[in-house]
Amino acid sequence: MINSALIFNLLISSQFGSGLKPFPNSENFTGSSPEELISNPSAAFSSGEIIVSRILGFATILAGILLIVYFLIGAFGWLTAGGDSGKIQKARDQMVNAVVGLIIVVAAFSVVGLIGAVVGLDILNLQANLEQVTAPIDQGQP
């Protein structure tokens, strides 16, 4: 059987080695001044929105990959059951659990999107959040 700790370590290292940084750097993070927060209170949520968006994106990708692996392990168990009804039932249950887990992940993603829409935050729009983080800082120089 495949060591689950090895799979987890490979997934984590592949995510953080992909060039996307989990949190913004201080040199390209624009932050909010007190004057901006007074005139626009929603600006306080911009950095939290980015962090939540990145965490949710990472968690969703990780869950999807793990669910596919779990489903494939169940399918392999079914193929190698050799007609044993107990092994077939165990493999079938594992595959059903993977599909149910995928449905739960999609539902959770939808609920987060709904909450973000009600609150007025664009949590699930990773592209817009990345553009906000990588925008050049205005130094006030012409």
Asked whether residue 32 is assigned to any structural domain, the reply reads no
Of 52, 26, 59, 38, nearest in space to 133 by CA: 26
Residue 52 counted as domain residue? yes
Please tell me the least confidently modeled range out of 26-30, 43-47, 80-84, 119-123.
26-30
Is the separation of the CB atoms in 2 and 76 below 8 Å?
A: no
Query: Can you give the residue range of the structural domain that contains 67?
Result: 42-132
User: Which of 44-58, 76-90, 116-130 tops mean pLDDT?
Assistant: 76-90
Indicate the number of domains in the chain. 1
Q: Is the pTM of this model over 0.75?
A: no
Q: Does residue 31 lie within any of the structural domains?
A: no
Two tokens, residue 130: 């990345």
CB 47 within 8 A of CB 29: yes
Q: Is residue 137 part of a domain?
A: no
Q: Is residue 106 assigned to a domain?
A: yes
